[in-house]
């Protein structure tokens, strides 16, 4: 189940008031920092310079405008936060003042051919004009966030003791305002809902000819159901194998499942029964590779002439399982005389989650 999901069950909504940061504006700025450094001793060359951005801060600059100036813009951008007519003097964020420190570690080769280093901190300030002034509700709740900051530097050793440097700082920032909003609190989806049948048309009520609409089938026919109108009859030709099967991707790895169905023996004169009733659940990964198969069989003598429920516990489901194949089959021996002359009616199949590890 993904983190985001559609909650469609109709019920009374429960709301909760929360406080969240709302992004008002997002921009990127570039700051060029030129410096000249007198080295503590004469240098033959500069080996390398490491740079980083420290103490990065920003201050928003607010302006107060009459509603007639920005009313159309505000209604378009924030229709759910502001009234139809705004009071005069509404605050807007118009500029951002960014300041920080460009920290440098300069490694140079001295006259004695030994690599030495000297540190330098260069403060910088840059004023950023937003493309469009952005309205805020409470100026005290506005904050500036810095998702990332990058720095690079070039240099020129003009003299053995004089180093000319040009640093470039690129800052991406977001202007956010902490706002209180009401949200709908939905019940968490059950990871493995109990007693929920994950098979489609479990009672075989929909058919196209002699094939159940939502099931795959081999050698079947429409039989009388246990409580509904139809069931699936296995053995249209009693001398050949027959089966109904269906795939489902609603399985949850790590849980146990229980397959149950109702079945009865249908005898045709002369009543010669030579079959085995088999229930099988196979699990596959996303590539379609078979991971695991669990099954159980019952002899013809164990299948009564009235409907009886048969069940099989399977699992736990492997972690990489993506879908399952449910199959109920009537197996008949070959070369047996007289051949099988019995059929099996199947109805009300269910595959439900029962427990975890």
Domain borders along the chain are 15-184, 207-355
- Block residue for tokens 């103490």: 55
Q: Is 68 helix (H, G, I), strand (E, B) or coil?
A: helix
User: What is the pTM (predicted TM-score) of this model?
Assistant: 0.52
If you write DSSP's letter for every residue of 119-171 in order, what string do you get? EEEEEEEEEEEEEEEEE-S-GGGEEEEEEEEEEEEEEEEEETTEEEEEEEEEE
Q: Is 243 helix (H, G, I), strand (E, B) or coil?
A: strand
Beta bridge mates, 246: 326
Task: Provide the pLDDT for residue 136.
Answer: 83
Task: Provide the pLDDT for residue 15.
Answer: 83
Joined together, the tokens standing for residue 194 give: 């109990």
Task: Provide the pLDDT for residue 85.
Answer: 43
User: Taking Cα atoms as reference points, which of 168, 36, 54, 58 lies closest to residue 106?
Assistant: 36
Task: Provide the pLDDT for residue 12.
Answer: 63
CB within 8 Å of 92: residues ≥ 6 apart: 62, 63, 64, 65, 70, 133, 134, 135, 136
Task: Provide the pLDDT for residue 10.
Answer: 55
- Nearest-angstrom CA–CA distance, 275 and 270: 15
Beta bridge mates, 131: none
Task: Provide the pLDDT for residue 279.
Answer: 97
- Nearest-angstrom CA–CA distance, 73 and 260: 62
CA atoms within 13 A on the CB side of 93: 29
CATH homologous superfamily, domain 207-355: Galactose-binding domain-like (2.60.120.260)
Task: Provide the pLDDT for residue 344.
Answer: 96
Task: Provide the pLDDT for residue 71.
Answer: 42
Joined together, the tokens standing for residue 301 give: 């003598």
Max CA separation in the chain (angstroms): 113
Mean pLDDT by 10 residues, the chain (357 residues): 52 79 84 86 85 86 64 39 48 85 88 86 86 82 83 86 86 87 74 86 92 94 89 94 95 92 89 93 95 95 95 92 96 89 95 79
């Amino acid at each position: 189940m993904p983190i985001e999901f559609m909650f469609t069950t109709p019920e009374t909504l429960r709301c909760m008031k929360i406080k969240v940061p709302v992004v008002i504006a997002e921009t990127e700025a570039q700051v060029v920092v030129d410096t000249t450094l007198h080295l503590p001793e004469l240098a033959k060359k500069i080996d390398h310079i490491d740079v980083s951005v420290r103490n990065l801060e920003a201050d928003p600059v607010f302006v107060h405008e009459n509603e007639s100036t920005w009313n159309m813009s505000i209604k378009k951008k924030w229709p759910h936060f502001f009234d139809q007519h705004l009071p005069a003097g509404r605050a807007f964020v118009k500029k951002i003042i960014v300041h920080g420190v460009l920290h440098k570690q300069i490694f140079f080769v001295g006259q004695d051919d030994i690599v030495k280093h000297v540190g330098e901190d260069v403060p910088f300030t840059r004023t950023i004009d937003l493309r469009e002034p952005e309205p805020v509700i409470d100026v005290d709740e506005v904050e500036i966030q810095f998702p990332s900051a990058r720095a690079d530097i070039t240099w020129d050793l003009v003299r053995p003791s004089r180093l000319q440097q040009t640093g470039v700082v690129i800052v991406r920032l977001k202007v956010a305002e902490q706002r209180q909003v009401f949200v709908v609190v939905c019940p968490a989806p059950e990871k493995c809902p109990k007693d929920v049948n994950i098979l489609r048309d479990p009672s075989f009520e929909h058919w196209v000819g002699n094939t159940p609409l939502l099931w795959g089938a081999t050698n079947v026919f429409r039989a009388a159901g246990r409580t509904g109108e139809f069931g699936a009859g296995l053995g249209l030709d009693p001398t050949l194998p027959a089966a109904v099967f269906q795939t489902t991707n609603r399985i949850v790895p790590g849980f146990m499942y229980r397959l149950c169905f109702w079945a009865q023996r249908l005898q045709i004169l002369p009543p010669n029964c030579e079959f085995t009733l088999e229930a099988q659940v196979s699990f596959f990964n996303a590539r379609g590779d078979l991971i695991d198969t669990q099954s159980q069989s019952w002899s013809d003598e164990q299948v009564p002439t009235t409907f009886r429920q048969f069940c099989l516990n399977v699992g736990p489901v492997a972690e990489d399982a993506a879908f399952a194949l449910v199959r109920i089959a009537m197996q008949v021996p070959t070369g047996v005389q007289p051949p099988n002359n019995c059929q099996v009616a199947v109805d009300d199949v269910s595959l439900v989650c029962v427990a975890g590890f």
